[in-house]
Each structure stands twice: as structure tokens, then as C-alpha cells.
Structure 1
Amino acid sequence: MFLFRNVLKCSCLFVTVCFMTRDCQGIDLDFQEEFLKREYSLSKPYRGLGFSSSSQWDLMGTAMVTTDHVRLTPDLQSRQGAVWSRIPLVLRDWELKVHFKIHGLAKKNLNGDGMAIWLTKDRMQDGSVFGSKNYFVGLGIFVDTYPNSEKLFDRTFPYISVTLGNGTLSYNHNQDGRPSELGGCAAMARNSIYDNFLLIKYTKNRLTVMVDVDGKQEWRICADITGLRLPLGYYLGASAATGELSDNHDLISIKLYQLTVERTAAEKDNEEEVTLPRVDDMKQFEVIVEEEGMTKIQFFFMLLFAIVGLIVMVVAGFFTYRCWTEKKRKHFY
């Protein structure tokens, strides 16, 4: 009986401590097992990162390694940097914990542009979407630190958003990505005195994004998307970009855990191998997109072509009429 009570006390203590700490909050009520997958993880001391054949990650652009972090961009204008996994992700159920920091001059109010966490078909391709390519195929989690739209005042920045790409959708910077956004939340993740964390969990076709940026060591749900189907074999990555505005974008660690999840017979029947990422019920994510107006350059060339075309028609009409009158005059004589 004494041994049983001690075991029970230890078990209760473990459960209590577990749910009070950040690292155990990934455990569901069914006590899912999680295993750190080092081949998909990136953490200190970053030995050989980007330079050694034994490294599982590549650097791109302005990304550089220090003893404390991987700096994707410095606090300078027009910089892009990224880090990409060399091994495609083939796990069906996983949890990704990202430790990051975005900071710049304390008195500077204009800052940007932000950083992104990726799970995409293509890797190591720079572009206009937070340092990576537009029209991407896969999943993007964006930490946007600057509001581009002056007409939309209903959200606070920095803003974390979830976007799904199938290769045909363009990320709309002017609307801060709203037309292709699946979910998101505001998070004070810039110049924070606390450590900033993202937790991205994917299991049973459900993606949950949680944040911890206020020092409470508690996960807050940012987005919860059901019916999301992601293909296997995509690559993990992180990128950042600055433009006329700038910030330091630091990646401290990426840790991926494999989840052992039991499935019912119905859930197994619902499993489906997909070749492109998609969402089962797209109606819940429908966004009305206003068509962009014509730019000044487009209007100028359209007007120019219209004037040139009108002149050509007048000249052609004049010569046609002249030839007709000439033939008529000769026929008369």
C-alpha cells in the first residue's frame, strides 16, 4: 500500500508539472507520444550548418550563423535570407516548435517586413513573399510586422497568418495576404522582452497554430483549421525579408516531433493521399477580393494605343476615299 501511494503521488506530480510547462502542452487528452526528429530539427550549436555535407540544412541569401541564433536578415534595407531542410518531410502526424526573435531599433516605429515558416514542395527559391517565392505550393505561416493596407484597420500588427498555396495563388501584399489566408491572430512578437514561440501541430488533417509571446509560458490558439490535407515529401524552411523598412529576424531553433496518433477505422477510411495541398470545405475560407484598378502606366499605354489606332484608321480611310474618288474621276472621262 505504501508503494502504491508513492507511485500515485509521483504520477500526479508528473501530470501536474507536465501541464504547467510548455514542452508538455503538445500532449493531448489521449496522451499522444511525441519523439524529437533530429534530422528535421535545427538548434544550437548549429555545427556545420550550410557548409558541411553532414548538415541537414542549407543557408540562402543573407542568412548567417552565430553562436546564439541564425540571423536570417540584419536590420538593414533590402535583405533576404532563409534556411531550408535538405530532407523532405514524410511524417503524417507532427508538431513543430519554433523559437524566434524579431527586433530592431527600440525607437523605430517603421519596421518590416517579417518572417515565414514554410512546408513547401520547392526549396531554396528566393522571391517576394517574406524572402521566398510567390505562387508557392504548400503551407506558409507568416509573421507580418508591417501593415501594407491603409484601408484595413481591423487588425493589429505584428500579425501571424496561415496561408495555403497550390501554385496558382499569388500572395497579395497590398491586402496583407487576406485573399489567401486560412486563419491568424495578432501577436506582439517584435521587440518583445520575452522569448517568442510558435507551435504548429498537424494531425488527422487538422492544423493548429499556437503562440507564446507574452512570457506566460502558455500556448494561445492562433488558428485552428480542419480538413486540411497536405502531401508528404515537402520541405521545411524559414525565411525573412526587409525592404525600405528593416529588422533583425533571428531563428533560434526549429524542433520537429513525430506524433504517435491512434486512428479509428472511420478515420483511416477518411485518409487520402493528395498531390496538391487543399482544404475540404473551402467555403469557410472564402474571401471577397476586389479587383485591382488599372495602374497609371497601363492607362497611359491603353490611351496611346487607342490614339495610334484611331490615327491609323483615319489615314487608311482617307487613302481609301482618295483612291475611290480617283477611280471614279477616270471612269467619268
Structure 2
Amino acid sequence: HWDFGGSTVIASDFIRLTPDSQSHRGAVWCKIPVRMRHWEVQMHFRVHGSSGNLFGDGIAFWYIDPAVSKFNGPVFGMQDKFRGLGVLLDTYSNHNGPHSHDHPYISAMVNNGSLAYDHDRDGTHSQLDGCTARFRNRDHDTLLSIRYVNNALLVATDIENKQIWQPCFRVPNVKLPTHFVFGVSAMTGDLSDNHDLLSVKVYEIEPKEPLEDNIGVDYRTIEPSADSAEPPRPHVDSQADSGWSFLRIFLLVLFCAIGLVTLLVLGLVYHTRQQRKKKRFY
């Protein structure tokens, strides 16, 4: 019932979507459409790597239209301008323009196929909401819960090894159709991490108080939408590609320092030789 692609490797007890090396994309997705109106997905995952400060890019959960959205693209392994819901676990801060959160960062985006994800702004111009979550390089289980009940999206984490769900955010008035599919993808760029998927559990939820205005609605024809989103802010063009700005600056400074030291050494050697030549004439 599941398929996979890209750099994904299937092991006996986990699925590695990307290895800890540059420029990889991997994904797994369910081939059976979701007919449930209200559901919860619990994702057991692991993000880890050898780098202490520079790592990326992240892993994402998807509920998307398989007819127009493909698991191969620049948005954490998903094509851009997807149609459906994405819950994005972003480990690298591109930080083009101001925002007030740290990374790793979990956010949600609902798209009808018209919005482009902006990596330079970490998707903040199109996110519904988000929270900081320190899920990388943990030595215990890290889990994510995505609940969609009565047109409300609820995201929670269990990353402190306490077996307790901690709310991340809740977004009301989110419209999602049925007959989309679940999937998980990950991506590395110039920075990297291992992105592992250990399990995906799906539950049908029975709402205590179903919404009356949904009675008689054909849920397959609903257009993905959400009433709330972050206010837009100006985009500032960056000369550095996503995931490279800090690294390029660091390398540039390093090479400049090496070049300066080399010039100083060469200058000192030249000066010493000139002094020796002058002494020969006395």
C-alpha cells in the first residue's frame, strides 16, 4: 500500500529518506486515498547527523492531491505549488528578513496549487502557524501528531521522552477534502542530516460534536484553504542559495584570512632576502 522514491532506503526497522550527505531527496507515500473525514496521524521519526552547527534541510508530512502533487521537488522533497497540506519540520534557518523563532521549527502550510514555498524566508510568508521544537540529535524517540477534526488542524510533539503530547499549534477553519494521500519526505542540500522514518500510525477520529454546516457536503470537491496565515513581509533577494549563506560567508572569511597570511609570509621572505643582498655590498 506504500511506495517510495528518490534516495529512500528501506531497512528492517526504519526507513532512511536521506543519508547524512549533500543533495538528496527521498519520500514514502501511501497509494490508498484517505476516505476519512476526521483523522490523526502519529509519525515516529528521527533527525540526526555528525555536524554540530551546520545541518539541513528537514523532513515534512504531507496530505496532498496525488493527481497534481508529486513527491520529487524542492520543498523538503515535495514539488513546489503542491495541492493540500504540508507540516514542515525545518532544521536550517535561512532567515532572509526578520522572524522571531529559532530552528528547528515546525510549521504548517495549506496550498491550492497556486502558492510557492519561499526557502529564503523559511516559508513564513505562507505558514498558518508554527513552533520551535528541538527534535534533532535526540537519544530517545521523537514523535509528531497531526490531527484534523472539525476543520481544525492540531499539531503536537512528544520529543522530551515523557510520553506526553505537547501542543505546538492549533489552526481553525482549515478546509481539506477527502481522497488525498498521506506521505513523508525529506531533503538535504549543501548541508545534510540523516532523516529517518520509524513508523506512521493513522487513526480515524469520531468528533464529539460534528459541525452542522458540513452535513450534505461532498468532501471530495472541497478546495484546500485556510482563513489564517502569517502576514506577508517583503522578500529581500539573497545572493546565497538556501542553506548556503552562513557557510559561504564562513568559507569566504577563511580563504581571505589564509590569503592574507600567505601574502604576509611572502612579503617577510622577500624583505629578508633584500636585506641580505644589501649587506653583501658593505
Please tell me whether the aligned partners of residues 131 and 241 of structure 1 are also in contact (alpha carbons under 8 angstroms). Answer: yes
Question: Secondary structure of 1:276's partner?
Answer: coil
Per-residue CA deviations over 1:61-90 (Å, capped at 9, x if unaligned) read 010111121000000100000001111111
The answer to whether 1:230 aligns with 2:189 is no
Question: Secondary structure of 2:195's partner?
Answer: strand
Going from structure 1 to structure 2, the CA distance change for 1:98 and 1:294 (only over 3 Å counts) comes to: closer
The answer to whether 1:61 aligns with 2:42 is no
TM-score by length of 2: 0.79
Q: Pick from 208, 220, 231: which aligns with 1:287?
A: 231
The answer to whether 1:92 aligns with 2:92 is no
Please tell me whether the aligned partners of residues 3 and 31 of structure 2 are also in contact (alpha carbons under 8 angstroms). Answer: yes
TM-score by length of 1: 0.67
Going from structure 1 to structure 2, the CA distance change for 1:79 and 1:98 (only over 3 Å counts) comes to: same
Percent of aligned positions with the same letter in both sequences? 39
In structure 2, what is the equivalent of residue 159 of structure 1? 105
Higher RCO (C-alpha 8 Å, min separation 6):
2
Per-residue CA deviations over 1:49-69 (Å, capped at 9, x if unaligned) read xxxxxxx00010010111121
In structure 1, what is the equivalent of residue 65 of structure 2? 121
Partners in 2 of 1:229 and 1:275 — Cα distance? 7
In structure 2, what is the equivalent of residue 189 of structure 1? 135
Please tell me whether the aligned partners of residues 162 and 223 of structure 1 are also in contact (alpha carbons under 8 angstroms). Answer: no
Paired AA for residue 276 in structure 1: E
Partners in 2 of 1:89 and 1:168 — Cα distance? 23
* TM-superposed deviation, 1:289: 2.7
Of Structure 1 and Structure 2, the greater helix share is in 1
Unaligned runs of 5+ in 1: 1-55, 296-333
| Mean Cα deviation higher: 150-159 or 257-266 | 257-266
Please tell me whether the aligned partners of residues 175 and 222 of structure 2 are also in contact (alpha carbons under 8 angstroms). Answer: no
Going from structure 1 to structure 2, the CA distance change for 1:183 and 1:264 (only over 3 Å counts) comes to: closer
* TM-superposed deviation, 1:150: 4.8
The answer to whether 1:81 aligns with 2:30 is no
Question: Secondary structure of 1:285's partner?
Answer: coil
* TM-superposed deviation, 1:261: 2.6
CA RMSD of aligned residues (A): 2.0
Going from structure 1 to structure 2, the CA distance change for 1:217 and 1:125 (only over 3 Å counts) comes to: closer
The answer to whether 1:276 aligns with 2:276 is no
Per-residue CA deviations over 1:85-110 (Å, capped at 9, x if unaligned) read 111111001111000000000x5310
Question: Secondary structure of 1:174's partner?
Answer: helix
Partners in 1 of 2:83 and 2:214 — Cα distance? 25
* TM-superposed deviation, 1:133: 0.3
Please tell me whether the aligned partners of residues 137 and 276 of structure 1 are also in contact (alpha carbons under 8 angstroms). Answer: no
Partners in 1 of 2:97 and 2:238 — Cα distance? 18
The answer to whether 1:148 aligns with 2:94 is yes
The answer to whether 1:221 aligns with 2:164 is no
